[in-house]
Amino acid sequence: MATLHTRSAARLMIAPSVLLLLAWMIVPLAMTIYFSLLRYNLLMPGMEEFAGLSNYTYFLTDPAFFQAIFNTLAIVLGVLFITVIGGIALALLLDQPMFGQGIVRILVIAPFLIMPTVAALVWKNMFMNPVSGLFAWLAKLVGLQPFDFLANAPLFSIILIVAWQWLPFATLILLTALQSLDEEQKEAAQMDGAGAWSRFFYLVLPHLSRAITVVILIQTIFLLSVFAEILVTTNGGPGTQSTNLTFLVYAQALLQFDVGGASAGGIIAVILANIVAFFLMRMIGKTLEA
């Protein structure tokens, strides 16, 4: 491949992608850092002035900020917990011989293909609504008071909706990994007298560890930035009970028009994502090497 091998040709082919991504990484991020040091509100144009770190102290002393950090982590961990455990269980189930396996797979995958605004609005209105939702009807059927999910347990409700969307992803990936497990190994373990539990813990789970790591890594990236589901269900409320960091910065920027404050919040979000990414990359590095 002499022609392709010429280094400069290869570089020329890679250059547009690298330059675009570099620009995408650096230009807006540099602007965010710059804005975060200004007192800058869109409602008061021409009044921009250098403000030092006051935007950061404002953000870091705002009670809503700590609530948002807590909510962000609760969403990530809650959804991960449900989807990883549920995904393993579902993958094990779907791996068994059954009738119509392909159809069940299709049914299970479907929620992942639904756009977030549709998923959230369908759950909000047709299931969680305390008057006309299906859950209210079920509650009344068994003699319970209907529960107003989004008013009384907003964060939990959002976790449920998001987990419904991501469960198929975990299932699909774990199932794919499960199907690459050597059938003979399982039989050998069975012949040696290993029970279902020990086969699961000593054979299946170690085999899945790489796929589980991948699921955790990829979901965490997306779950840190859950946005649409909050916007269309609770709008961050009541109060700030279901505001995560992404939503807090959005509200500061596009509802309060506080460019400086929102930028400081954005930078804090970037730092947090980097900390998480650092640990995840180390974790995934270890399992990928093993």
Of 140-199, which residues contact another protein (CB under 8 A)? 140, 164, 167-169, 172-173, 176-177, 180, 183, 187
Q: Write the interaction track for another protein spanning residues 27-56; mark x where CB under 8 A is met and - where it is not.
A: xxx-xx--x---------------------
Q: Report the nearest approach of another protein to the CB of residue 92 (Å).
A: 10
CA–CA separation, 41 and 44 (whole Å): 5
Please, what is the minimum distance in Å from the beta carbon of residue 184 to another protein? Answer: 9
Taking the complex as a whole, the smallest distance from the CB of residue 230 to another protein amounts, in Å, to: 11
Among the residue ranges 45-53, 57-65, 148-156, 228-236, the one whose residues contact another protein (CB under 8 A): 228-236
Question: Which has the closest alpha carbon to 215: 273, 179, 160, 175?
Answer: 175
Q: Which region among 56-64, 148-156, 199-207, 265-273 touches another protein (by CB under 8 A)? A: 265-273
Q: Among residues 203 and 224, whose Cβ is nearest to another protein?
A: 224
Which is nearer to another protein, 73 or 221 (by Cβ)?
Answer: 221
- Applying CB under 8 A, among 54, 147, 156, 225 the residue interacting with another protein is 225
**In angstroms, what is the minimal distance from the CB of 286 to another protein?**
14
CB of 182 to another protein, least distance (A): 13
Note whether 9 binds another protein by CB under 8 A.
yes
Is residue 73 within the footprint of another protein (CB under 8 A)? Answer: no
Sites for another protein among residues 194-223 (CB under 8 A) = 210-211, 214, 218, 221
Out of 126, 188, 255, 283, name the contact with another protein by CB under 8 A: 126
Q: Mind giving me the DSSP string for the chain?
A: -HHHHSHHHHHHHHHHHHHHHHHHHHHHHHHHHHHHTEE-BTTSTT--EE-TTHHHHHHHH-HHHHHHHHHHHHHHHHHHHHHHHHHHHHHHHHTS--TTHHHHHHHHHGGGGS-HHHHHHHIIIIIS-TTTSHHHHHHHHTTPPP--HHHHSHHHHHHHHHHHHHHHHHHHHHHHHHHTS-HHHHHHHHHTT--HHHHIIIIIHHHHHHHHHHHHHHHHHHHTT--HHHHHHTTT-STTTT--HHHHHHIIIIIS-BHHHHHHHHHHHHHHHHHHHHHHHHHHHHHHH-
Give the span between the Cα atoms of 79 and 209, in whole angstroms.
18
Complex with another protein: residue 35 or 78, whichever CB lies closer: 35
25 binds another protein (CB under 8 A): yes
- Choose the stretch contacting another protein; rule: CB under 8 A; options: 51-59, 75-83, 93-101, 191-199: 93-101
> Which phi and psi angles does 258 have, rounded to 5°?
-90, 90
Stretch binding another protein (CB under 8 A), from 56-64, 150-158, 192-200, 255-263:
255-263
CA distance 129 to 135: 8
Residue selected from 134, 144, 205, 255 as contacting another protein according to rule CB under 8 A = 134
